[in-house]
Structure 1
Amino acid sequence: MPAIRAKKSYGNLAKMMLFSLASLGLVMFAHQLYAADQNPYEQNYKRQNMNDLKSLQTKPETKIFVGNHKDDDNITMLEDGYDLMGTSGFSSMEASSDLALQHAKSIKADIVMVYQKYESAQASSSKLQLIKEAANKGGEIDPKDLEDGPTQYLYHASYWAKLPMPLFGVHVIKLKQSSADEDTPKELPGLKVIAVIKSSPASSMGLVRGDTLLKLGDVSLKSADDLFLAVKRYAGQKVQVEFQRGDIDMKNIAQLNVRK
């Protein structure tokens, strides 16, 4: 009888082990399915602001482009009449650009720009440090430590919405000048133009990137809010615009669009 019990015990133990392995396999498989179902572009998406920009089109035909230089591409997109909805950024061994397009469609972006940059495998400097430490201590190096690790890439995507033609058509920033003798930076006069939207009133009157807007009508422009209120006030009217180009003060007339 003891022998029979032992056989039964071993049999039960084997069944339990097989059941445990099967359960572990199911858990791992489920985890893989879950991981495969995740979209890193969606998980790492950050909206540009709380205004929740939307495209002119109710159902835009989202297009995807591979970018080269983010800053230059951003200016080009602004000049073409698009505004930034948000961005995604993360580090990974591999991420299909199809996932960026998938997320862009889900937020109804007109265009998504994708970027991929080599980050690192195992840094050569790290390997060199291992060799130096082993030489100093007279120790051995595990050959595995000198093998290249998995290659990592930095992924970035920017999502853009096509907006209606604006009343004026510029993107600006407020510049400040730092001084070693002053605790607080000194504000420079006016607003620096970083992009002029094509075919806009600002473009038609001759404003270009790099100009400094000083005055719109009777309103001195000290902040972006000043510009917003001035454009709203003079919508649909001809208005004098004062600006600087380099060290030269200039004036011109702009015909602002009507708010629709």
Structure 2
Amino acid sequence: MSFHLEPSATEAATSFIELAKTSAYAIGIKLVGALAMWVFGSWAVGLVDKLLGRSMKARKIEETIIRYVTAAVSAMLKIALAVGVLGYLGVQTTTFAALLGAAGVAIGMAWSGLLAHFAAGAFLVVLRPFKVGDFVEAGGVTGTIEEVGLFVTKINTPDNVLTMIGNSKVFSDTIKNYSSNRFRRVDLTAQLDHGADVPAAVELLKAAMAKIPNVVTDPKPDVEIVTFTLAGPVLAVRPYCHTDHYWQVYFETNAAIRNELGKAGFSVPKQHLAVLGPEGKKAA
């Protein structure tokens, strides 16, 4: 048994195939165009970022502000590019904008902490409690500022660990900037024996600190009696230096205390205890 299509059915099938080919061709052209638009747009956004960064650097704007502004501009341009590509593909951008707004509200409620980090980052850039390269204590972390991003601040710790802290934690916590002032004090102590010549020890340590590299002369190093222990008087030894040289001065001053007092014949401090008998007299 053979089947034959009626002429009208054959024409309908042919028409459907032609329509499918035409639609597929049109959709293919649209997709290729959208892809080209996205590639070119992404390249243009990158170019704008570079030009903006160079322009701000030429005006000697701080690196922290440059990174924050370029990141924000890049994010906005990419959103605009995505909307443009969707519009080219025939998606109703007004509907998309409404959906984006509704999604923004939902995301804002769900990611309130993330938005708080963003807002805190803006305040950090505006108020500028620190800049890239400063040695700080922020958010419970001590180290060198590497970057103030849109949501996190990157700090490289002295043991070379890159640590990322949420901007809201940084902004809401106490910030100590060790690089903002011209110099910093190094706090050390030197224990002396009860019979030690304190004035001689003071002059000896002052002269020793004057020879240590990177110790500033204004203000001059301090050497004073700070307290007393069972072993004898304790000297506060306080040279001043720039933050970049803090640990070098710290360790070399400690070495100078040990070496100079030893060379000068100062005895090793010992605790002095008196053991009393039942009648309050010293035990034999």
- Do both share a fold (TM > 0.5)? no
Bigger-Rg structure (1/2)? 2
Greater strand share, structure number: 1
When normalised by structure 2's length, the TM-score is: 0.27
- TM-score (ref. length: structure 1): 0.29
The answer to which structure has the higher helix fraction is 2
Q: Say which structure, 1 or 2, has more relative contact order (CA 8 Å, 6+ apart).
A: 1
